[in-house]
Amino acid sequence: MAEIGFTLNGKPVSAAAEDGASLLHLLRGPLALSGPRFGCGAEACGACMVLLDGRPAHACTLPAEAAAGRSVTTVEGLGTPEAPHPLQRAFLAEQAGQCGYCLPGILVSAAALLAANPRPDAAAVKAALEGHLCRCGSHNRIVRAVLRAAAEMAA
């Protein structure tokens, strides 16, 4: 067990991680988040994606201690129903989802994309989401939603 301190969604947190546990174990376990999800444990689906110092990272394979002293953002940190992130507003407007299991990871990657490239085209959005799997077939709505958010943020 090691106590790991870091910034989670803008607030300082500290939690005890079991030796060898991943950041996902820490986030879903002692920190009781729901947004980052287990999908494969092998960086192959993107369901667990979080931002580590603003960059997308697979929480399922990242050792918990790698977060020490750094800033972690999950979908919970993007926005709330009262103050949604433009992406969250756009995903609702486009009804971009069916089961929704993949969405928190996708939203997090899309947020990193828009931070780096505020006016992506559809190809750039698809490239940024290539590592994310969606089984329900919501891809086209998701791409439209990201483009809508980009347009709104630029306006």
Binding mask 118-137 for other proteins (x = CB under 8 A): -------xxx-xx-xxxxxx
The residue range among 38-46, 65-73, 110-118, 147-155 that interacts with other proteins, by the rule CB under 8 A, is: 38-46
In the complex, the smallest distance separating the C-beta of residue 20 from other proteins, rounded to whole angstroms, is 7
Cβ count within 10 A of residue 36: 26
For other proteins, the closer of residues 52 and 88 by Cβ is 88
Pairing of strands 2-8, 71-73: parallel
3-state secondary structure 18-80: CCCCEHHHHHHCCCCCCCCCCCCCCCCCCCCEEEECCEEEECCCCEHHHHCCCEEECHHHHCC
Asked whether position 15 contacts other proteins by CB under 8 A, the answer is no
Q: Is residue 50 part of the contact set for other proteins (CB under 8 A)?
A: no
Q: Which tokens go with 28? A: 């879903």
Confirm if 125 and 89 have CB atoms less than 8 A apart.
no
Helix (H) or strand (E) holding 55: strand 55-58
Residue 28 contacts other proteins per CB under 8 A: yes
**Residues 52-91 vs other proteins: string with x where CB under 8 A?**
----------------------xxx--xxx--x---x--x
Partners of 11 in beta bridges: 8
- Shortest spacing between CB 137 and other proteins, in angstroms: 3
Q: Which residues are registered as beta bridge partners of 7?
A: 12, 71
Q: Using the rule CB under 8 A, is 42 a contact of other proteins?
A: yes
Task: Report the interface residues with other proteins, using CB under 8 A.
Answer: 18, 20-22, 25, 28-29, 32-42, 44-45, 47, 74-76, 79-81, 84, 88, 91-92, 95, 97-104, 107, 125-127, 129-130, 132-143
